[in-house]
Amino acid sequence: MYFSIVANGRPPTADDTATAFALPVPEVEECYRRLHEAHALVLHPDSVDIRFANPFCFAPTPHRVKAGGRTWTGTCAWDALGIPAALHTDGKIDSECACCREPVGLRLEDGDLVEGADLLVHILVPARRWWDDIGFT
């Protein structure tokens, strides 16, 4: 799934995966649901469309990440920083301050933040409750 995401810039639909592996679509849909239940990915509500394949996000957020020749969306501040890490490449993050909505920029080179290192990241939810509502976390 992740190789498909990196190659195509979007997650594979259940139809895509069924075709690729010559499997019945309902069987693949059930696999997607099991991956969701195991927190390996997050589906849109009442759907088998992929919302998060962390650190990649396929729903709107303020976190735009330029890395590896594409512009990605990060699920959150943590995951925005994780996209260049996962791709093993430099990256630029265009996001916003959660308070004033003014743009903030971060730039990564060789794994280090060379711009934006003094910005703050705030995590509201304690770690043991992250998956209670992963969209809010």
Interior angle at CA 16, CA 71 and CA 62, nearest 5: 25
Nearer to another protein, 11 or 82 (CB): 82
Nearer to another protein, 44 or 129 (CB): 129
Which residues sit at the interface with another protein, rule CB under 8 A? 2-3, 6, 38, 40, 54-55, 76-79, 81-83, 85-88, 95-100, 102, 104, 106, 108, 111-113, 116-128, 130, 137
Task: Render 42-110 in DSSP notation, one character per residue.
Answer: EEPTTS-SEEEETTEE-S--S-EEEETTEEEEBSSHHHHHHHHHHHTS-EEEEEE-TTT--EEEEEEET
101 contact partners, CB below 8 Å, separation of at least 6? none
* Closest distance to another protein from the beta carbon of 88 (Å): 7
Nearer to another protein, 26 or 125 (CB): 125
* Closest distance to another protein from the beta carbon of 11 (Å): 14
